[in-house]
Amino acid sequence: MASLTVSSAARSIEKHRKSFSLLFYRAVRDLKPVWMLEDMRTMETFYQEEDVGQRIYSPSEALLYAIVHDHQAYAQYLLSRYTDEALAKPGERFCCCPSSAPHLAMAVRYDRRYILGLILQETRAARCDLQETHRTPSTPHYTDRGGCFHMEDGRTPLHLACELLRPEALVMLLGNGASPHTVDHNGLTPLDVILEKLRDSKEVASGERRQCLDNLLMFMPQVDFKMRAALDREPEHWSLVLGEETFKYLAGRSPAPLLLTAMQTILKQLSPASFPDSLHELPIPSSLKPPGLPVSQRDRQRAV
């Protein structure tokens, strides 16, 4: 009889917990005030005595909800108040993958550019702290970590930005230190992903596909990718899709175009600490800057 009572109580507690969890999810979705969300997230009412230290959602899990629903004020609060905890690996109910960058990948997937900028700003600050104390990071650069294998198939945020054709996110990631040479578990670079998106084109690529390709090449002085052999097998097709000049460059038949070389040199001089503001302030025509140039940090802050 006693065991039945305990079992019934446990089911009741779990029911309350799920109900309260749904309330929190809806509150984030409805963009409720930050103070209300934090009161709900840290509330202990529905917890057993031994679980008092465990909240309904960790800062990391709450940040994922803030990204999905574009709750910019809550994301900013979580990242400034709980930086390390907010960017830590979420609990297994959200993701059971090993160390990854689910928040960056989620921001890219849902095209949350303002929150993406906030995350990059915080990770940049953490990287600067390591450099000041002369410590070497024990894990890959945060922007180069893979996403969840269940949602992102383990792709890095940069691969995902190429797959989803997000030229602005691509510039933000590259400008903040993401490596254009990183490979996914299939050995594909971000350039391979873009070329696969262009493979079936019947004319010279334009729009977001072309923007992503041009952005990537501007941050990629040395090209090394898996699909080079495919370009050699179908030169006429790829020359049509990429344009003669770009095709010859990627196929290794000619050096980089002069304009591309000049932009690569300029971009290498820009510090990630002031990106993308430093990119906006370059005294060159806007037509020469990376397509899909992200809004400056100051403009993003004014917009919130």
Distances in Å between the Cα of 174 and the Cα atoms of 11, 212, 248, 266 are: 49, 11, 24, 14
| pLDDT for residue 252 | 93
Q: Which of 136, 141, 151 is nearest to 120 (CA)?
A: 141
Enumerate the domain spans of the chain: 10-92
pLDDT in tens, 254-287: 999 999 999 899 888 888 778 888 888 888 777 7
| pLDDT for residue 289 | 76
Could you tell me the pLDDT band of residue 13, with boundaries at 50, 70 and 90?
Answer: very low
Q: Are 159 and 151 in contact (CB under 8 A)?
A: no
Measure the CA–CA gap between 72 and 82, rounded to whole angstroms. 15
Highest mean pLDDT among 148-162, 195-209, 216-230: 216-230
Give 270's contacts (C-beta < 8 A, 6+ positions apart): 175, 278, 279
- Residues written for the chain: 304
| pLDDT for residue 283 | 82
Q: CA triplet 282, 115, 75: central angle to 5 degrees? A: 140
Could you tell me the pLDDT band of residue 234, with boundaries at 50, 70 and 90?
Answer: very high
| pLDDT for residue 152 | 55
Please count the CA atoms within 13 angstroms of the CA of 65 that sit on its side-chain side.
Answer: 25
Measure the CA–CA gap between 23 and 56, rounded to whole angstroms. 11
| pLDDT for residue 47 | 45
| pLDDT for residue 131 | 44
Letter for the amino acid at 275?
F
User: 54: left (phi > 0), else alpha (psi -120 to 50), else beta?
Assistant: beta
Could you tell me the pLDDT band of residue 144, with boundaries at 50, 70 and 90?
Answer: confident
pLDDT at residue 304 is higher than 60? no
> What number is the average pLDDT over the span 241-262?
93
Question: Tokens 């507690």 map to which residue?
Answer: 13
Please count the CA atoms within 13 angstroms of the CA of 143 that sit on its side-chain side.
Answer: 27
| pLDDT for residue 297 | 58
**Comparison of pLDDT for 253 and 133, the residue scoring more:** 253
Measure the CA–CA gap between 56 and 221, rounded to whole angstroms. 47
Q: Are 300 and 275 in contact (CB under 8 A)?
A: no
| pLDDT for residue 91 | 75
* Token output for 242: 């990429």
| pLDDT for residue 241 | 93
> What number is the average pLDDT over the span 112-134?
73
Question: What is the pTM assigned to this prediction?
Answer: 0.83
Buried b (16+ CB within 10 A) or exposed e, 83-116: beebbbbbeeebbebeebbbbbbbbbbeebbbbb
> What number is the average pLDDT over the span 41-60?
63
pLDDT in tens, 89-117: 887 666 656 556 789 999 999 999 999 99
Cα dihedral 212, 215, 220, 225, rounded to 10, equals: 10
pLDDT at residue 250 is higher than 60? yes
Sign of CA dihedral 74, 147, 127, 57: positive
| pLDDT for residue 298 | 58
Separate counts of helices (H) and strands (E) for the chain: 17, 0
| pLDDT for residue 1 | 52
| pLDDT for residue 53 | 46
For the chain, percent of residues with pLDDT exceeding 90: 48
Q: Which of 168, 180, 189 is nearest to 218 (CA)?
A: 180
Letter for the amino acid at 20?
F
> What number is the average pLDDT over the span 142-171?
80
> What number is the average pLDDT over the span 152-172?
89
